[in-house]
Structure formats: structure tokens, C-alpha cells
Structure 1
Amino acid sequence: MYYQRERHPDLEFSDHCSLPPSSVVNPCFQPNNQEPAMDLGKKKTQSAKDYEVPDSKATALTPFPTTSQKQIVPNRFSPLQIRPEIPFKSMLASNSPKPTNIQIPNSPEQFQKYFTKDWFEDIGMTPHTEYPTGLIQKDFIRARFQNPTQLWESDNSLKDQRYYELILVDSHSVEITHNPSISNEISFSKCVIKKIHAITTFGGFKEFKDFSVRHPAKGFNYIDYKNAWFRTFFMRPFNHSWFFTFHSNIDKHFPMWFFDWWRKFGSNIQITPPSVQKGFQVFSENSNHSSYQKPLMFHAEFKVPWIFAWDFHFRKIYPDPTPFSLIRVFKIKWWSKFQENTYSEHAVRHYLSTGQKVTCQKGDVKKEKSKASSSSKVSKDSKFMNMPEDMKKEFLEFLAQRSSSTKTKSKESVSSDPIGGQDPYDFQDPYNF
């Protein structure tokens, strides 16, 4: 079912229904948690060793009690009440997916905004028959997910977000890089999709693979592997985002369930600039894939990147008098710094005729910028050396004030934009793998 997400005055960034930063941060940044903290300001590509849990800190699994140990405990819960029956026709009319498309951006400014996808996850009903305020929403979410590292229904405390992230890293399915902010909290992350295992390549449903590092869960099966794709990226709502792209050598024989993953976490052609949409049109006309497969295949073939985020929202999805439900919405956006020429109409036609793809020339641009910057620094240094002493002092004070102002603006941009106000190319280059 599709509902366009609506902003509410009580849900602005400083007061929206997010979990408290101290409780939502990734477990690797919690001082008393089982994982060590990252070095402040350093970006590091994750390896399996980063998820290792020493035996001394591992939580031992409690064995099932024997018959003699079992105790009969009185039932302290009251009987379930009979819920009012909802007419089938009414449910069918209200819950059937509506053919509503993502709002199409029509200006450069709109390409910087997030657009809510036309699918959401129904987490469950709330007791609220009226739209809850921001504070009530916060309290409800805290009570609903008491473990901030498991923002989904789970019956195993060992299988948290870090566990599923380790599965994808240890199986060489992804390459993940986290970018810690000033507060030592992951502000945004990058994920390069390298491989998606089908049941045949995994070894079957009975196959159990051990982790390459110590972990109390020991390993994973195919169900865990599949769940990892749907749970790893629920790191934090509201103020965290993922930068996605595909690896150059990605195997494009995707299992069917990955198209379901794409529907939730993947991009949408409608949010891309006209040049990319024309490239997709040419690709689509020359592709033998089904219509629902073409967007994923286009992004995988040409490594088209996108940015993903998610959050919670309260929505009445059933007819009255049914109360509001808690849902998870999925958001995506285009980034203006992405190199459109590598997946434009010209790039696609060039690939179809020659079999070669247009590559990003970003490395050459970096060299030119480096040369210009170096020559500029030399010029400034020579002028500075010839300045009188009083002018040198004033100039240094001016630079110090400008640096302080820039840092303040940087902090403000990080708090207002889940991508941290950063150009992804500042810390990652999706074209050099």
C-alpha cells in the first residue's frame, strides 16, 4: 500500500520521533558494548575482524531446562478481547496497493530532497486513535524496540544489526565503509554490492557457514543470509543514510527475493535526471528482461548510485475505528555530484555498440585541482612572506575566524542532512573498484 509521507510540526529533526542518540548509535560506538569504538573522524572499510566478539564478552546461550527444572508459573495475562470485525470489502478497498508513483523532481533543488517510496512496512497497530504527538511517538517507539540494535521483530538477542552486517561482510557480499561524525556516531555509510548468493551457490537451506571470526552466534544459514539483506541497513532512522552502488564485477543473476529487496531499498528511475532517464530508456528498449527487472539490471550494469534512508511514521492504514499503525517508510534521493555522463543515453549507446562503458574521469579532475591548489598555495606563501608583520598578524587572525565559522556551518549541515552535508566523493569513489 502506498502513502506519501507527511511532515508533522512535532517531527522536525530536533524533535521528531527518533530514538535518543545515546541509545541509537551503532554498537561499535558504545563504550560499554562488545565492540571497540572507531577512531574519531577516520573512515574505514569494514572487515570481518571489526565484528569479532571475544569469548570473555560473549553471552553464553542458556540450555533448555530439564523436566525436573521446569516450574509451573501462573498466567498473569488477561484473556484476549474480541476485536471488532472489519468488513472484508472495506479491508480490500483500503489495503490494496494504489498505482501511485514517486513524486518526480523537476528542478535541480528537488534532486537534493528525499522521496518516499511507494511501499512501506506495516510494523503493527498502536493504541492511539488520534494522531500522537512527537513525545508520545518517541515513547512508543522506545517501548516497541527496547533494543536499539534490533529495530525489527526478533526472538534472538544475538542476531542484531551488527550480526547481520557481519554476515554480508564475511560472505564477501558487500563492502561497507562507515563515516563517523564529530560525536563519534556513524553519520552516513557506503555499501558496494559485490555478490548476492542464490540458494544453489550457498549450498542449500541445510548449509551452515561458520564465521571467520569469533562470535557467539557462531555462523549463519541461508535464511540468516537472506534476512541480513533486509535488516543490515536498518542501522538508525531519521539521521543516517546509506550510499549504494554496485561493484563492476557483480554477477547479475539475481535470486527472485533480491527484486523484493530492490523494491524497498533500491532506487527509482523517476528520481534521476533526464539524461539518466534517457539512458535507461535506451537500455530498456534493447533489454530482454521483464519490465520489473529492468531498473535493477540498469543500475547494476552501469553502477548507477543512489542514497537511501528510512524512518518511522504513524499512519491510519485501516478504516475507522481502528487506531493508527506504526510503519517503516523507505526514502531515496539522487545526488547532484553523481557523474551523469557514465549512464547517459550516449554512454548506453556506446556500450551497446562497442561493449565498452564510459568511465568516470574523476581521477584526472583531481590531479588538475591538486595542481591548481598547489600553485595557489605557493603564490599565497610568497605574498605572505613579503607582508609587514602587522599585516601578517591581521591575516592570520582572519584565517582563524574563517576556519571557526566553516566548522560551525559544517556541524549545522551534518545535523540537518542525513548524508552529513558531504559530497560522497569526498570519502568514496564508486568508480574505482
Structure 2
Amino acid sequence: MKAPESFAQAVNPNIPSAKEEAQQQPQEEFDIIRKTEIPVLALDKQYENWKVADLLKPCYTNFQYVDTDDPIQTRRYFEFILTDTGSLTIEHKLKDKNDSDSIEYSKFTISKVISPFQWNVDHLHIPMILSEEHRPQVYNYYNYEQAWYNFLYVRPNTHTWFVKYSEQFARSIIPRWFYDWWKRFGGNELTMPRSFKKHYEAFQIEQGISTLPEHIKLCKYYVNKRISYIISWSFDITEVHRIKHLSKTIKIKGWIPKDKKQKMKQASTSCRTGSTKSKADLKKKLLQALNRLDEADPLKIQELLDTISSSTSDNGDMLDPQGMAQAYLDNDLR
């Protein structure tokens, strides 16, 4: 008879061992879910079947997808406000280093969110001057709040933001208005890695926040534990109270339970190809690729990551295959 691994298992042999419990846990994969739909334009009956591209023309010009009544307040203007105030650190990966608009993907780290009571001047309407040359050249606190809701809209469908938090922000008090931003753009329990999800309830009890609205609890937990995720977005036709709208759909990517059918399909493919590589072998290949980053083929690295993601729950940077590979190798992001 197999010796029990714990007192509890000795009392009840039906309790699974730690190894058996780990094997029973569902696998995770980095995937996308729809988070929020933001109505932009209510559609009259005769426009309900129009293509999205045609509906965009009266709403946005010159690929500026911000929601403002001032056409010279561009996405870059709002980004400048957030970097000028030290609220965000932003990194853009450019396809062409000589073209600042050729953004492939981006990352931002939240350093602080300024409340109205922390604003640098006496009145929230008083203009402040941007350090970057731009038209308009000034902004006030209300523009600052607007900036949080508008800097994200680089490009629909194909652009992504990787979200991170500074240690400073993780220890700071979150202004209450920011929870509304989180409700639109923040992570949720579905995209929370399993290693964090199992401690979420205990965190609520420790912090005394169990009765708060879910999006507020999630915001506090993600920020405190510095859990990263990815934001993307698209334009879609949605229905609100039986009226169709042109809407912005906010999507987020994170670790979610793997679909069983997909898991079986991958297992079948693995059998046919004779792929029985261990995680250690995959890590070795990733390390070799990292040692020659200049020559490494990102697609090859991504193939390795796709394989390894079915056997790990580490929370890596999915935007940058090389950066994500390093996260897997470090095996400890916190």
C-alpha cells in the first residue's frame, strides 16, 4: 500500500496527493476575451448594415480614434499629458525607427494616478504647459482624466498594449475615479493566472474589501500583486437596448483555463508528430535562442513558447517573444 503523504491523507485516503492535485488542475493558455463595449454612435435603421469602415468616416479623421470634441486633441497629445505628469512610462516598438507613427506594439508602466486633490495648481481648470511641442500646448486636470481614456487607441485590431505597474504605484492609494477606468480597461478574474487566483479570496479578507464591487476588488488586487495583462481593441456593431451602435470593443489577454477539446487536439497532433520534448529541453532551446538574440528568428521562438505555454503558468510578456522567453527562464516574476 502506498504511504500517505500527509496526516489528512492518512485519515482519508481518498484525498489526492499534492502531485495528483497538480495534475488535476486545468492547464492554462494565454488567450483573449472581450471585456467592454463602448458605444460610439447610435445607428438609424438605414445604416445598420453598413460596413464598419464606412461608419468611421463621420466619427474619426486621420486615424485619430480618440473621443473628444476638440479635433486637435490627438491620441499623442493625451499620451504626452500622461508622460509629462510622470503618470506613465511608455515604450513603443517601432517598425521604422525614423517614423514615430509606425508603432507595432507598446508597453506602459503605471507610476501614479493623480487625484484632483494632488493636482499641482490651485484650480483644476488652470492650464499647464506640455514639455513636448504640440498643438494644443496646454492641458488642465480634466484633460488629464480624458488622457487615461484616450491614449490607448493607437490602432484597432492589430495593436496591443502590455500593462505593468511600478512598485511605487503598487503601494499608493488609488483615486476613486480610476476604478471606472479599470472597469473598462482593467484585468478580470478570468485572465488572472492560477497562481494568483487561488490567493484572491484571502486578499479580500485581509484587506477588508470583500463587500466592494468586483471591479474595485480586482483593481486593488492586480495593482497590489502587479499582475500584468494585455489590452487590444476593435470597432464592432453592437446592440444596446435593441438599438445597434458602432462601438469600441475592449479586449484583454491573460492566462485562462485551456479548452479541453483544444487540449485533446494538441495531444493528438503531438502523438502524430512524435513530439515528446520535455519542459527542460524547451527551456534549453529558449536559452540558446536568447544567447544569440540578434540572429534568432522570433517565429521560431514563438513556436517554442506556444509549446511550453501548455505546461507552465508563469506570467510572461506575451508581446515580445524574447522578453517572454526570458520570463519563462527566470521562472519567478515576483
Structure 1 distance, partners of 2:134, 2:297, is 44
Structure 1 distance, partners of 2:37, 2:49, is 19
Partner of 2:235: 312
Is 2:88 the partner of 1:174?
A: yes
User: Unaligned regions of 5+ residues in structure 1, if any?
Assistant: 1-105, 337-367, 378-399, 411-418
Match of 2:33 among 112, 115, 120: 115
Structure 1 distance, partners of 2:45, 2:32, is 28
The alpha carbon displacement at 1:143 in A equals 3.6
The alpha carbon displacement at 1:224 in A equals 0.3
Structure 2 distance, partners of 1:427, 1:168, is 29
- 1:242–1:403: structure 2 CA closer, same or farther, 3 Å change rule? closer
**% identical aligned pairs:** 22
- 8 Å CA contact 2:82–2:148 kept in 1: the answer is yes
Match of 2:173 among 219, 230, 253: 253
The alpha carbon displacement at 1:261 in A equals 0.3
Alpha-carbon displacement from aligned partner over 1:128-157 (angstroms, at most 9, x marks no partner)? 558636xx22122234312312x1343322
Partner of 2:78: 164
Is 2:114 the partner of 1:197?
A: yes
- 8 Å CA contact 2:237–2:247 kept in 1: the answer is yes
Alpha-carbon displacement from aligned partner over 1:401-426 (angstroms, at most 9, x marks no partner)? x969959x99xxxxxxxx66736546
- 8 Å CA contact 1:112–1:333 kept in 2: the answer is yes
Amino acid at match of 2:71: S
Is 2:144 the partner of 1:144?
A: no
Is 2:184 the partner of 1:264?
A: yes
Alpha-carbon displacement from aligned partner over 1:108-140 (angstroms, at most 9, x marks no partner)? 46x3221111x321112124558636xx22122
Partner of 1:301: 224
Structure 1 distance, partners of 2:185, 2:299, is 37
Amino acid at match of 2:248: R
Structure 2 distance, partners of 1:269, 1:146, is 36
Q: Which has the higher contact order (CA 8 A, sep 6+)?
A: 2
Structure 2 distance, partners of 1:217, 1:121, is 26
The alpha carbon displacement at 1:262 in A equals 0.5
- What root-mean-square deviation, in Å, do the aligned CA atoms of Structure 1 and Structure 2 show? 3.9
- 1:130–1:148: structure 2 CA closer, same or farther, 3 Å change rule? closer
Using the size of structure 2 for normalisation, the TM-score is: 0.65
1:196 alignment partner, SS class: coil
Partner of 1:154: 68
- 8 Å CA contact 2:128–2:138 kept in 1: the answer is yes
2:240 alignment partner, SS class: coil
Amino acid at match of 2:199: G
Match of 2:139 among 220, 226, 231: 220
Structure 1 distance, partners of 2:110, 2:95, is 24
Partner of 1:210: 129
- 8 Å CA contact 1:252–1:300 kept in 2: the answer is no
Partner of 1:291: 212
Using the size of structure 1 for normalisation, the TM-score is: 0.51
- 8 Å CA contact 1:271–1:334 kept in 2: the answer is yes
Alpha-carbon displacement from aligned partner over 1:232-253 (angstroms, at most 9, x marks no partner)? 0111111111110110111531
Partner of 2:267: none
- 8 Å CA contact 1:158–1:217 kept in 2: the answer is yes
- 1:156–1:194: structure 2 CA closer, same or farther, 3 Å change rule? same
Alpha-carbon displacement from aligned partner over 1:245-278 (angstroms, at most 9, x marks no partner)? 1101115312211000000111002222332111
Partner of 2:266: none
Amino acid at match of 2:160: S
Q: Map of 1:6-405 to 2, 5 A cutoff?
A: 108=27, 111-117=29-35, 119-128=36-45, 132=49, 136-149=51-64, 151-181=65-95, 185-202=102-119, 203=121, 204-250=123-169, 251-289=171-209, 291-292=212-213, 293-319=216-242, 322=243, 324-334=244-254, 373=288
- 8 Å CA contact 1:272–1:334 kept in 2: the answer is yes
Count of residues in correspondence between the two structures: 257
- 1:403–1:199: structure 2 CA closer, same or farther, 3 Å change rule? closer
Alpha-carbon displacement from aligned partner over 1:178-211 (angstroms, at most 9, x marks no partner)? 1124797322111100011111111331332211
Amino acid at match of 1:300: V
Structure 2 distance, partners of 1:246, 1:403, is 29
2:199 alignment partner, SS class: helix
1:172 alignment partner, SS class: coil
- 1:305–1:112: structure 2 CA closer, same or farther, 3 Å change rule? same
- 1:403–1:116: structure 2 CA closer, same or farther, 3 Å change rule? closer
1:114 alignment partner, SS class: strand
